[in-house]
Chains A and B, each alone.
Chain A
Amino acid sequence: KNQVEQSPQSLIILEGKNCTLQCNYTVSPFSNLRWYKQDTGRGPVSLTIMTFSENTKSNGRYTATLDADTKQSSLHITASQLSDSASYICVVHKRSNDYKLSFGAGTTVTVRA
Chain B
Amino acid sequence: NAGVTQTPKFQVLKTGQSMTLQCAQDMNHEYMSWYRQDPGMGLRLIHYSVGAGITDQGEVPNGYNVSRSTTEDFPLRLLSAAPSQTSVYFCASSYSSDYGYTFGSGTRLTVV
B53 adjacent to chain A (CB < 8 Å)? no
B48 adjacent to chain A (CB < 8 Å)? yes
Write the chain A residue with the least CB distance to B97: A99
Which of B31, B42, B98, B103 is close to A43, meaning CB atoms less than 8 Å apart?
B103
**CB contacts between A and B, total, < 8 Å:** 53
Scan B16-60; emit 1 where CB is below 8 A from any A CB, else 0: 000000000000000101010000111111001010000000100
CA distance A4 to B50 in the complex (A): 24
Bin the interface of chain A by size: 20 to 34
Question: Do A100 and B58 touch across chains, with their CB atoms under 8 A apart?
Answer: yes
CA distance A46 to B97 in the complex (A): 14
CA distance A32 to B97 in the complex (A): 9
B94 adjacent to chain A (CB < 8 Å)? yes
Question: Do A46 and B98 touch across chains, with their CB atoms under 8 A apart?
Answer: no
Question: Do B97 and A98 touch across chains, with their CB atoms under 8 A apart?
Answer: yes
Give the distance to chain B from A18, nearest Cβ to Cβ, in Å.
25
With contacts A99-B50, A99-B94, A104-B42 known, is A43 near B100, CB below 8 A? no
B75 adjacent to chain A (CB < 8 Å)? no
With contacts A41-B106, A42-B106, A43-B90 known, is A101 near B100, CB below 8 A? no
B7 adjacent to chain A (CB < 8 Å)? no
Residues of A within 8 A of B (CB): 2, 4, 31-32, 34, 41-46, 49, 89, 93, 98-106
